[in-house]
Chains A and B, each alone.
Chain A
Amino acid sequence: MNTIFRFALSRTRGQIIGWGVTIALLAWIVVWFYDPFKEQQQQWIDLLKTFPKEIIGLFGDLNEMFSTKGYLDLQFFVFLPPLLGIFAVLAGSGLLVSDEENGTLDLILAHPVSRTALLAGRGLAFVVVTVTILIMSWLGLVLPLGASSLTLTPGAAALPFVSLFGVVLFFGSLALLFSMVLPSRKLAASAAGLLLVVSFFVSSLANFVRDLKGAAQLSPISYYQSASAINGLNTGWLIGLLAGAALFTGLAGWLFQRRDIRVAGEGSWRLPFVKRRNPRSEVERGKA
């Protein structure tokens, strides 16, 4: 498992730098922008009041917009689940299946590596990459705080990222599970991505659409605290998200143990209305 873990980590340097630096820069800009933003507080409130209430709902409480919590929520933390969710969905869906689809999994599993060790090594690498990205993002937020009038300690600033960690793992493991049951990585990533987007909008719109409040309770993003974690982390929500991630990962592992590893280009079961595009698999199965 150690070799698998190290190798998987080495392949993700680009992702760590790309996502980590991008979000860190975003955080930096958000912190830097607070003071100029606050100076124009009244003008912003007057402007936002002209927007439809559905749009205002996405911003939360307008009066809170200029507090530390409200500002960081509105400008930064509220967008992190869909943003990092993209990373999670792509990484999770490709954890095992991308190598299977490009034919490299065959050779790895022809070595003395158990399927459990493979999943565990790569899963651990995914967790380490996620934590590294979150730490870089946190640094992007806390390093410029000294030059800003935002009142936030580094410890308190870390708590929303801890909550975000649960969301990222939840959607990453969901995408992994989908990759074990759907015919391709693309379909798995699309399905998980769709759920991510729907979840985000349902949670956001539920702030002012009463009919969505019930549905919002089913949305994983509703259990993401965003900047309100600054005032205290809801460990129950975090544990719930991590438990969901553990369940999906366990199910995915169980399916992976029982799965036939496909030869590159072989394809898998297909949706009934989609024609098989790879004639090679027909020849291999003796149909040609």
Chain B
Amino acid sequence: MSDTAVMTQGLTKSYGRVKALRGVNLNVKRGEIFGFLGPNGSGKTTTIRCLLDLIRPNGGTLRVLDLDPQAEPVAVRARIGYLPGELRIDDNLTVESALRFLNALRAGQADWNYVQHIAERLDLDLKPQFKNLSKGNKQKVGLVQAMMHRPELLMLDEPTIGLDPLVQREVLHLVAEAKAGGATVFFSSHILSEVQEIADRVGIIRQGVVVEVAETDSLIHRAMRRVSVRFEEPIDLDVLARLPGVKVLKRDDGTSVLLQVEGKMDALIKALAAFPVSDFETERPSLEEIFLAYYAA
């Protein structure tokens, strides 16, 4: 058994003239939580659907839990829990009958006590018909069916969308518990704060190509920082602008300046030591800012 849960190499997919995937390379390790980020239309859902054999790529290699999803789709899906980006279930079923049907498709793999346990944690009533549920409650049904059989690999497309903050927190706990139980979690999200909170690594996809994969902390730490400095008297700010890796973002009358610093802070700090500094603040960008930076590039 390799230590890779999901592998794609050179994955391509076109819809007519539109190239949805242009060579996606991914390597998700077993037991990690991997956040997959990208705007609408970047190829996140297309990648996930290729991994599930719902759509067939035009080229490239895929492996899920060491299996080829096209050659062994049933075996792959038996070990996966999937939450679609848009969950649709037969409207006339009750929540309970829908979950029992989906469990029956898995030959009753899920322990019903555990199903009820997750439902309770997410505050989900099993009695109503699916069509009468709010968007948030429908999402909860999706989460329960994805997690109820304790899969080796969880593939969650926007798991917390439509959920209130308390339930979002509970979902993150469930994901963390799944990881603690040995599962791998591969999820896409637009809520970057939660990706930042739980993902071990992040992959950023843009226009069908993965542009960055890194550990979440590393991505944040090596990114550019913002430094705000206030001086007791006006100084020549050009001195700072000439420092390597430093860019002046905003300046006023020479007594305060906002800088962007890439790389080490040492040169800037030593330069500032020559001036009477009254205030100094440094701020790491959020994952959102890093993400947006990839799209501004």
Contacts and interface: CB of A to CB of B under 8 A. Distances in A.
Interface of A: 3-4, 7, 11, 102-104, 106-114, 258, 260-261, 263-264, 283-288
15 contacts: A11-B90, A104-B88, A106-B88, A107-B82, A110-B82, A111-B106, A112-B74, A112-B75, A261-B55, A283-B41, A284-B40, A285-B18, A285-B20, A286-B20, A286-B41
A50 B234 CA distance: 112
Contact of A284 (B41, B55, B104, B207): B41
Main secondary structure of the interface of B (DSSP, over half): loop
Interface string B72-91: 01110110101011111110
A225 B41 CA distance: 55
- Interface of chain A, main secondary structure: loop
A133 B73 CA distance: 36
A218 to B, nearest CB: 35
Interface of B: 15, 18, 20, 40-42, 45, 49, 52-56, 73-75, 77-78, 80, 82, 84-90, 101-102, 104-107, 145, 207-208
B88 A285 contact: no
Contact of B52 (A110, A263, A264, A286): A110
A133 B233 CA distance: 93
A110 B207 contact: no
A114 B208 CA distance: 28
A36 B42 CA distance: 73
Contact of B54 (A106, A258, A283): A106
Would you list the 8 A-B pairs with minimal beta carbon distance, nearest first?
Answer: A103-B88, A286-B41, A112-B78, A260-B55, A111-B105, A110-B82, A3-B104, A261-B54
A260 B105 contact: no
A110 B80 contact: yes
Contacts of B207: 286
A1 to B, nearest CB: 10
B88 A264 contact: yes
Nearest to B53: A109
Given A108-B105, A112-B74, A113-B105, A285 B86 contact: no
A103 B73 CA distance: 20
A288 B41 CA distance: 9
Contacts of A112: 74-75, 77-78, 105-107
Contacts of A108: 105
A117 to B, nearest CB: 8
A8 to B, nearest CB: 11
B86 A263 contact: yes
A4 B107 CA distance: 12
A286 B19 CA distance: 9
Contacts of B145: 107
Contacts of B102: 107, 111
A106 B101 contact: no
Contacts of A263: 45, 49, 85-86
Contacts of B55: 260-261
B88 A286 contact: no
Given A106-B54, A110-B80, A113-B74, A283 B40 contact: yes
A3 B105 contact: yes
B42 A102 contact: no
Given A110-B54, A284-B40, 4 more contacts: A11-B90, A106-B88, A112-B105, A114-B74
A7 B77 CA distance: 20
Given A3-B105, A285-B18, A114 B73 contact: yes
Contacts of A264: 86, 88
B85 to A, nearest CB: 8
